[in-house]
Amino acid sequence: MKSCHINELWTPYPWRELFSLMNATKYDGYTLAEIPESKDPERLMKYYRGLWTALSK
């Protein structure tokens, strides 16, 4: 897999399972987030990085 397209991480999709599998395979590609625009994009990206990290454990 070269990239992963995600959307809102609070939907019922099994995100934890997906990220755990990606982590187990040492995925090093991009994760593209289709989410609403933010007035503070840096803060939003840090938030999503934190969610990604938490969900991949």
pLDDT digits (tens, 9 = 90+) for 10-46: 889 999 999 889 989 999 998 888 888 899 999 998 9
Report residue 8: phi and psi, to 5°. -55, 125
pLDDT at position 13: 93
CA–CA separation, 53 and 15 (whole Å): 11
Number of CB atoms found within 10 A of residue 40's CB: 9
pLDDT at 35: 87
The residues spanned by each domain of the chain are 3-55
pLDDT of amino acid 46: 93
* Residue 41: per-residue pLDDT: 92
What phi and psi, each to the nearest 5 degrees, are found at residue 37?
Answer: -60, 150
Quick check: 51 pLDDT over 90?
no
